[in-house]
Amino acid sequence: MQLMTPTSLPPKRAGCGWSNPGSYVFRDSSKTYAELGEFPWMVALMRNNQDQDWNPKDALGGGSLIHHSVVMTVAHNLNAINNDPSLIKCRLGELNRLNTNEIYPHQDRDVRKVLVHEQFSLYPLTYDLALVFTSSPFDLSYPHVGIACLGLNEPEPDASCFSMGWGKDLNHGNKYAISLKKVPLPIVDQCTCSWVLRGVVDMFWLKTSFICAGGRNNFATRTGDEGSSLACRTSSDGAPPRYTVYGMSAIVWQRKGVDCCLELPALYVNVPVMLPWITDKFYDEKLDLTFFA
């Protein structure tokens, strides 16, 4: 991984979803790791142990910043700690969890409230969505952090999409990643996804609260990536990269007893289906909806 020094601060664009890899410090020639600022809405959720160090055993999964004080994640990430806000810490602007000399700092925030979708069920997994409200806003003046756009409709079949996270890394002995991974993922239509997974997973039935992506051998989100966004590019080639979040990593086949290296599409929370619930909660909290529009 090569150290890069920016010649000047890249401009901060107004609005959500802007990828800003011009703010990078590190570049990875293998293209399997994200640059600093490439996915500026990416949040790491971890147990709040009052320690600045990041131990994988404390990781709760990923999330997306959708307001300067709201993180969207999957509800099952927080189930093990009974959705206790005092046990959660949110970290924004991280790239390499062991490097303390990145040019722009990460930011940690405590949590004051967690709202879980009222129809959330763990078995079977449905409506896997939670909103995490931080105790104070994140500082979005830095070029490597920003708000995610949320999709109003499901992504196009040919969309260019990625997911990301610090979960287990197939290329490095199945250990938790040190630097933020990124995984290119094709969108898989619902019919194809249902047909493929019914041949592998007993009694599988694809619910409307999920969409499918992936199906490429050795390209998949893995244990520890749950809650990370499925983000698809919405700007045209040649234009500054801008993404919209259409899903969140929900079911990792390795955890369900299915080999994740098989060419199986993975399940992601269907964000467009969840958007009415999210906007209702924003209204209840008197928050500005223009943050993710």
Predicted confidence (pLDDT) per residue in 11-27, tens digit? 778 899 999 875 544 55
Does position 29 have pLDDT exceeding 90, yes or no?
no
For domain 2-6+17-148+275-292, the CATH class is mainly beta
The residue with tokens 């046990």 is: 87
Does position 144 have pLDDT exceeding 80, yes or no?
yes
Q: Whole-angstrom Cα distance, residue 50 to residue 288?
A: 30
Q: Whole-angstrom Cα distance, residue 185 to residue 163?
A: 7
Residue-level pLDDT at 268 = 94
Helix (H) or strand (E) holding 231: strand 229-233
The residue with tokens 């938790």 is: 176
**pTM of the entire predicted model:** 0.89
Neighbours of 160 (CB within 10 A): 17
Does position 222 have pLDDT exceeding 70, yes or no?
no
Sequence length of the chain is: 293
Q: Whole-angstrom Cα distance, residue 253 to residue 259?
A: 6
| Average pLDDT value for residue range 139-161 | 92
Find the range with the poorest average confidence among 157-161, 178-182, 194-198.
Answer: 194-198
Read off the pLDDT band of 129 (50, 70, 90).
very high
Domain 149-272 has CATH 3.40.50.980: no
Residue-level pLDDT at 16 = 94
Q: Where in the chain is the domain with CATH 2.40.10.10?
A: 2-6+17-148+275-292, 149-272
